[in-house]
Structure 1
Amino acid sequence: MSLTSDRLLASGVLFLCTLLVGTVPVYLFQYWNRRRTTRTVVITTNESNKTVLSANFYVQLVTQIGGGILFFTVLAHMIPEIRENFDKYMASNESFIRVEDKSEFVKAIQPLNLPFLELSICLGFFAVYLAEVLMHSLLDSHDSSNNLKEEFYDFDKKSQISSVSTSLESEPSVVQNTKEDEPVLIAIRCHKSKCDISTHLHNVIKLEPVYIRLIHGLVIISAFSIHSLFDGISIGVKTSTPEIWTMFIAICSHKLMIALILSVELYEKCLNFVLVVFLMVLFAIMSPIGIIAVVLAENSYDLNGEDNPFTIFLSAMASGTILYIVFFEILQKDRATKLRPIVQFIAIFIGFALMFLVTITMKED
């Protein structure tokens, strides 16, 4: 089998494995979650909006373990690798501080000795921060136009709802449930002075608009997709069959874990299996694109190595983006409301230690 065939086979296997790991567990969780009988009461007023995600103990536990995995991946894998490539570039004759024909901008900033790598990481951090701010501003604008608020109350399966009341502009409304064996959803929807009361025998949760959830999902996978693209290039530039499959195994060891955690996080954000599948397809296809790009451009471009400034800059920005996701989207206490603080700490540490063991094992091999 030729090197091209090995590379294409590796790209196909990597795509299928990533897609399966990123979608099948979410589908199973969604199927299991539908079979559960819970009681949810939705009270809608006109003040603000609260969105309940998949508040499940096991989902939150896996997400926190994933936070530990991503924490190790960024600080102990991505950033040191980028630093090594950056040092190689700065020591080469092609670096912007060594070329003879320097631009006026380079001449001006060279005496400052700026930490370019760290600034690129911060740029990625603030870029995704800005994207989050703009997205939430758009969402708040959408909600203010509807002038709605939803609050969610979860009741124990065996508890009985005797009454629900609201103190709004209108008179308080009381809804009673006398059937203890049936899950019930009571929605009191109020807009200004008018209230509509509806009861359903299943859980209905007010969702953000689809385009908002899609944008949020795209923000989450963007950094991982860039890194996955470079993972594919790393496989594609190998010049022997053993090297190709060794690199394939090394990349799978962390990419499949990230795919699992990423899919859970996407489901928490999107609450839509179809959206999760679409986003996971985008994530899974990036590494094959990197491999195929090497195959197509092998005779025209020098893609052998990651020590060029464009790759370094994008990788550093991806690291900053993932740091934001880890600290602001996963590890915050309000993302683990079902977990005790010590359980959250243990889960994060387990994820970190698991990735550490995988890294040590791969280096020994």
Structure 2
Amino acid sequence: MDILETKWIVLVALFGSTFVFSMLPLKLVSSVRSTEDRVKRGRYGRIISLLSCFAGGVFMGTGLLDLLPEVNELLSKANVTEYMKSSFPVAEFTISFGFFLILILEQIVQEYKEHTEYNVLQDETVRSNSLNPSPDPEAERHLDHEVEAGSSAINVPVYREPQPRPVLRSLVLLLALSLHSLFEGLAVGLQADVSGLVQIFVAVVLHKMVIAFSLGLNLVQTELSLASIVKSNFLFSITSPLGMCIAVVLQEFGHSINSSIVNGILQGLACGTFVYVTFFEVLPHELRNSENRLLKVLALLLGFSVVCCVLFLDPVEPPHCPHP
């Protein structure tokens, strides 16, 4: 089969598998929300919590084992330290900069959101007090006592919907993953023979299916609408095929890709995002609840191990930035 035909088949397969796996968490969460059985809701809730820890392990492994070495390699190829006349750790600084950038942006958004909500709450309180007189404090204390007594008499465990995760973190994670996928697509599209193309495709598609499921699970736990989640999954799924198309077009017109510095900086920022999402969102969100603590740690290790296995099975080092 011709190499160009094989690339088009790989492109379609890559998009289809990624989009399907990114949509699976949507079906799972909709099953949880639609059932009225408390036992089933509790069971499904525990499964989703364990899968979130699995996703945290995937993000951690992808950032530290995949992106970090890639950033070092790209910036080493560009001889950045020679240009700077210094041994300053540029790769590590880029990753740290990406981490702090997301931290600062999110804190600014949270500060603005809390300030706005506080002002709205103050206005509503003033309006409510002006319309409704204050009730008798003694009667209010008596009513509170009766409610507490009634709730203690009925000790039935109820599954509660987890608090929605911050939308900004998930959107930044989507951007970082999409950027990484674009470069993966470039690596696949730059292959010159069918055997090398198939080998890299197998490694990339296994990695992307795990990442796609983890991203989809992260998105469905936010306040994003169904349409926004589907669009986000579509955007992530299309980036690798888009990278392949760019590589094919550049090869057809005889151009080469030699932008190690730009690629390294962008991948470093993406790696900082992975570290932030893992240690500031997924792990604190799940491990602060004491239920199934050891199982959550096991799920985290399992997600990390899956990334290790996929990277270990990668047959060759993809040519990210070949020199002319």
TM-score (norm: length of structure 1)? 0.69
Alpha-carbon deviation of 1:328? Answer: 0.6
1:291-310 counterparts in 2 under 5 A?
Answer: 291-298=244-251, 299=253, 301-303=255-257, 308-310=260-262
Q: Secondary structure at the match of 1:337?
A: coil
Q: Which moved more, 1:267-276 or 1:223-232?
A: 267-276
CA distance in 2, matches of 1:89, 1:35: 55
CA distance in 1, matches of 2:57, 2:163: 31
1:134-173 counterparts in 2 under 5 A?
Answer: 134-147=108-121, 172=140
Using a 3 Å threshold, how does the CA distance of structure 1 residues 59 and 2 change in structure 2: closer, same or farther?
same
Q: Which moved more, 1:314-323 or 1:22-31?
A: 22-31
Alpha-carbon deviation of 1:88? Answer: 2.3
Give 2:127's aligned residue. Answer: none
CA distance in 1, matches of 2:118, 2:92: 39
CA distance in 2, matches of 1:128, 1:136: 12
Using a 3 Å threshold, how does the CA distance of structure 1 residues 19 and 97 change in structure 2: closer, same or farther?
same
Give 1:332's aligned residue. Answer: 284
Specify every segment of 5 or more residues in structure 1 that has no aligned partner in the other structure, as ranges.
40-54, 99-109, 149-167, 178-184, 186-202
| Pair 1:17 & 2:26 matched | no
Question: C-alpha deviations, 1:229-274, integer Å up to 9, x for none?
Answer: 1010011111112222211111111111011111111111236433
1:170-209 counterparts in 2 under 5 A?
Answer: 172=140
CA distance in 1, matches of 2:192, 2:254: 16
Q: Which has the higher helix share?
A: 2
8 Å CA contact 2:57, 2:304 repeated in 1: yes
Give 2:73's aligned residue. Answer: 84
Q: Secondary structure at the match of 2:256?
A: coil
Q: Which has the higher strand share?
A: 1
Give 2:47's aligned residue. Answer: 58
| Pair 1:349 & 2:323 matched | no
Give 2:313's aligned residue. Answer: 361
CA distance in 2, matches of 1:170, 1:116: 64
Give percent identity, aligned residues only. 22
CA distance in 1, matches of 2:135, 2:299: 46
Question: C-alpha deviations, 1:274-329, integer Å up to 9, x for none?
Answer: 322121111111111111111223225312x6x61111110111111111011111
CA distance in 1, matches of 2:6, 2:113: 46
Q: Secondary structure at the match of 2:88?
A: coil
Say how many residue pairs are matched. 286
Q: Which amino acid in the other structure matches residue 255 of structure 1?
A: K
Instruction: Tell which has more relative contact order, 1 or 2 (C-alpha 8 A, sep 6+).
Output: 2
Question: C-alpha deviations, 1:153-208, integer Å up to 9, x for none?
Answer: xxxxxxxxxxxxxxx9656477989xxxxxxx9xxxxxxxxxxxxxxxxx999979
- Pick aligned residue for 1:270 from 223, 239, 249: 223
TM-score (norm: length of structure 2)? 0.77
8 Å CA contact 1:267, 1:276 repeated in 2: yes
